Structure 1
Amino acid sequence: MTREPLDVGASVTLGLLAAWAVHDAEEVVMVPRWVRARVPELRKRFPRVPERAWRQLEAVDGREFTTAVGAMAVVVAAAAAEGHRTGGRSAVYRTALNAFGLHGVVHLAQAAAFRGYTPGSVTTPLVVLPFTLWARGRLRRAGVLGPTRPRDALHGFAFAAAATAGTHALARRVARCW
């Protein structure tokens, strides 16, 4: 007798957008002031980073960063809605969920490399990682998610990188229009 997959519910699928919003609220509040305060110290600590990278980081103001976060909200909302529509079966939703969790790991690595607070490092262990692990567990128990494969992680990193680069490029274009 084959078992019908269980419904994972909105908390798993649309919850991705809610968890992302909590996490990114921390980033919107903290990134501009943290960058202004910490880039001089980071320049000294990481002298091999090209000067162009530091200048580009310093050039991002609060409005531009908030615009990038707003654009990312559209990406995450679309992935969450597709996950909800498909009961968590959407490859886009599952990839976005993996990307969310993996980007949290990157936040923790940044905080470890910096040896202190970095924007996003507070909500990562409180929201990002617990939500990701919980949602993946619910998907697995519902028969929607199989064993994790290395390519799933690669797709997640690629999704996160492409979405981040794309939303920041869009925000820079919008900022130029201001």
Structure 2
Amino acid sequence: MKPTTAISLGLFAAWAAHDAEELITMAPTSRGVFRQLPRGLPIPRSLRERGLSQKHVNVSLCLMAVPVALSAVAGIKTDGKSPWFRGGLLAFGVHGFTHMTNSVAKRGYTTGVATAPVIVVPYWLLARYVLRQQGVNGSNKRVNATALAAIPLTLGVHLISAALLREGSLGPALQPEDAER
């Protein structure tokens, strides 16, 4: 197997391993995370109070699997030269640092932080090294633009999940004993 094929497949594998953590932890931790965000952020009250449901997380991860898989395929087809693959790789690596930064800011666990330093960031660094060894240079405008597109893509995935699930997108309703905490 060519090194560029291995790292292209590795993007999807690393994403899947990392998202397994998110699959397990995002819904139960989301209520606390949303509650701690600054009040000035335009987050619906229902989302602050209830967080995300497990169904919402499941649908969102399935939706995100499509562009990640297609990015990996683009990497395989182009020996790692595709801006889509390289942008996806850049976005994946940088997003690992956001998980760690979020946990520092929260001063506690946030979803994704357990696998970010042991899977996401090491894979990203290795993939960048392999690409350089194979003569594929770092970023350019197209790669950076593709990476930045991950921000609205992520928001879009969550909005689509919310639209599909409606009320089912929200976590469990706040119980009276929880309201006192």
- Mapped to 1, the partners of 2:57 and 2:163 lie a distance apart of 12
Counterpart check, 1:166 vs 2:163:
no
Which 5+ residue runs of structure 2 have no aligned equivalent?
169-181
Aligned residue in 1 for 2:74: 82
Aligned residue in 1 for 2:46: 55
- Mapped to 1, the partners of 2:102 and 2:145 lie a distance apart of 19
- Mapped to 1, the partners of 2:134 and 2:114 lie a distance apart of 30
Shift in Å, 1:36: 3.3
- Mapped to 2, the partners of 1:142 and 1:65 lie a distance apart of 37
Provide the alpha-carbon RMSD of the alignment.
2.3
Counterpart check, 1:19 vs 2:14:
yes
Q: Which amino acid aligns with 1:55?
A: S
Q: Is the 8 A contact 1:96 1:159 kept in 2?
A: no
Percent identity over the alignment? 33
Q: Which amino acid aligns with 1:33?
A: P
- Mapped to 1, the partners of 2:109 and 2:119 lie a distance apart of 16
Structure 1 length as normaliser, TM-score? 0.82
Shift in Å, 1:115: 1.1
- Mapped to 2, the partners of 1:105 and 1:22 lie a distance apart of 16
**Alpha carbons of 1:136 and 1:68: their partners in 2 closer, same or farther (altered >3 Å)?**
same
Aligned residue in 2 for 1:123: 115
**Alpha carbons of 1:137 and 1:60: their partners in 2 closer, same or farther (altered >3 Å)?**
same
Q: Is the 8 A contact 1:75 1:163 kept in 2?
A: no
Superposed, which structure 2 residues align to 1:1-178 within 5 Å? 7-37=2-32, 39-40=34-35, 42=36, 46-50=38-42, 52-53=43-44, 55-57=46-48, 58-144=50-136, 146-148=137-139, 152-153=143-144, 155-156=146-147, 158-176=148-166
Structure 2 length as normaliser, TM-score? 0.81
